[in-house]
Amino acid sequence: SQQGEEDPQALSIQEGENATMNCSYKTSINNLQWYRQNSGRGLVHLILIRSNEREKHSGRLRVTLDTSKKSSSLLITASRAADTASYFCATDDDYKLSFGAGTTVTVRA
Amino acid sequence: NAGVTQTPKFRVLKTGQSMTLLCAQDMNHEYMYWYRQDPGMGLRLIHYSVGEGTTAKGEVPDGYNVSRLKKQNFLLGLESAAPSQTSVYFCATELGTRLETQYFGPGTRLLVL
């Protein structure tokens, strides 16, 4: 079963704007990851945040984690056309990861 | 280094035919995974392996078999393909420290007629 649920399903923004997407999950986690998938490609790892962390940055990416609300958010600042992709959150489940259905982000020039 | 490679990239099968998808990695990772991705459904885990000679069922294992005879290879078999197995299949690997970054292959697009 899919543990993570991303919201919104799709997002369209202008180049230079920020994009925010959210992930909610159901059971306790050790860590949460975000991945990006460009059209027709495999997933690429973006960032991992552990359950004892509240915020993490990587370049133009900012991830927050609220374990009390069982939710995480991914913020992409100053978006570029190359950020057009689907973004997935993944939560740990024993030896496995459980992926949500993803948020499709379109960055318009 | 090639990373994670998948063979073939695309295949068309007729219902009832069999085939094997190959995932190969040169990163010396312990864990390997097979996922399928269908529109609007994200990735669902089919089978996984936490080491050479071991395999385990994931979320949607029915109709698939796997083998991990060598550490660097993870094979996914379809014994009798069905149209419901039309999907994009991704292989992924992980170092083996549990639940760290997974590295994905480019995918195999399978169409079952």
pLDDT in tens, B27-54: 999 999 999 999 877 899 999 999 999 9
* A25, A4 Cβ separation under 8 angstroms: yes
pLDDT at position A2, please?
54
Query: If we measure between CA atoms, which residue out of B67, B7, B60, B61 comes closest to residue B32?
Result: B67
pLDDT at position B46, please?
97
pLDDT at position B96, please?
80
Q: Residue B65: exposed, middle, or buried by beta-carbon count in 10 A (0-12, 13-18, 19+)?
A: middle
Q: Is the pLDDT of residue B97 over 90?
A: no
Q: Residue B2 and residue B24: Cα distance in Å, rounded?
A: 9
Q: Residue B18 and residue B14: Cα distance in Å, rounded?
A: 9
Question: Of B45, B101, B103, which has the smallest distance from its Cβ to A96's Cβ?
Answer: B45
Question: Of B56, B90, B100, which has the smallest distance from its Cβ to A42's Cβ?
Answer: B90
pLDDT digits (tens, 9 = 90+) for B66-81: 999 999 999 999 999 9
DSSP state letter for B67: E
3-state DSSP of A68-91: CCCEEEEEECCCCHHHCEEEEEEE
- Using an 8 Å CB-CB cutoff, list chain B residues near A1: 59
pLDDT at position B40, please?
75
- Does the distance separating the beta carbons of B107 and A95 come in below 8 Å? no
- Does the distance separating the beta carbons of A99 and B100 come in below 8 Å? no
Tokens of B84: 């419901």
pLDDT at position B100, please?
79
Query: If we measure between CA atoms, which residue out of A100, A103, A98, A107 comes closest to residue A29?
Result: A98
- Using an 8 Å CB-CB cutoff, list chain A residues near B107: 40-42
pLDDT along chain A (109 residues), means of 10: 79 97 92 94 94 96 96 97 96 83 94
Q: Which residues contact B97 (CB under 8 A, 6 or more apart)?
A: none
Q: Residue A39: exposed, middle, or buried by beta-carbon count in 10 A (0-12, 13-18, 19+)?
A: exposed
CA distances to A4, A15, B11 from A83, rounded to whole Å, are 21, 9, 30
Q: Does A45 contact chain B (CB < 8 Å)?
A: yes
Q: Is the pLDDT of residue B99 over 70?
A: no
Q: Does B4 contact chain A (CB < 8 Å)?
A: yes
Question: Of A40, A43, A95, which has the smallest distance from its Cβ to B50's Cβ?
Answer: A95
pLDDT digits (tens, 9 = 90+) for B1-10: 779 999 999 9
Q: Residue A27: exposed, middle, or buried by beta-carbon count in 10 A (0-12, 13-18, 19+)?
A: exposed
pLDDT at position B27, please?
94
Q: Residue A13 and residue B79: Cα distance in Å, rounded?
A: 45
Rounding to the nearest 10 degrees, give the CA dihedral for residues B38, B43, B44, B46. Answer: 90
pLDDT band at B98 (very low <50, low <70, confident <90, very high): low
* B19, B13 Cβ separation under 8 angstroms: yes
Q: Does B95 contact chain A (CB < 8 Å)?
A: no
pLDDT at position B2, please?
78
- Using an 8 Å CB-CB cutoff, list chain A residues near B59: 1
Q: Report the number of secondary-structure helices (H) and strands (E) in chain A.
A: 0, 11
- Does the distance separating the beta carbons of B100 and A43 come in below 8 Å? no
Task: Provide the residue type at B85 as one letter.
Answer: Q
Nearest chain B Cα distance for residue A78, angstroms: 25
- Does the distance separating the beta carbons of B48 and A95 come in below 8 Å? yes
* A56 or B98: which leads in pLDDT: A56
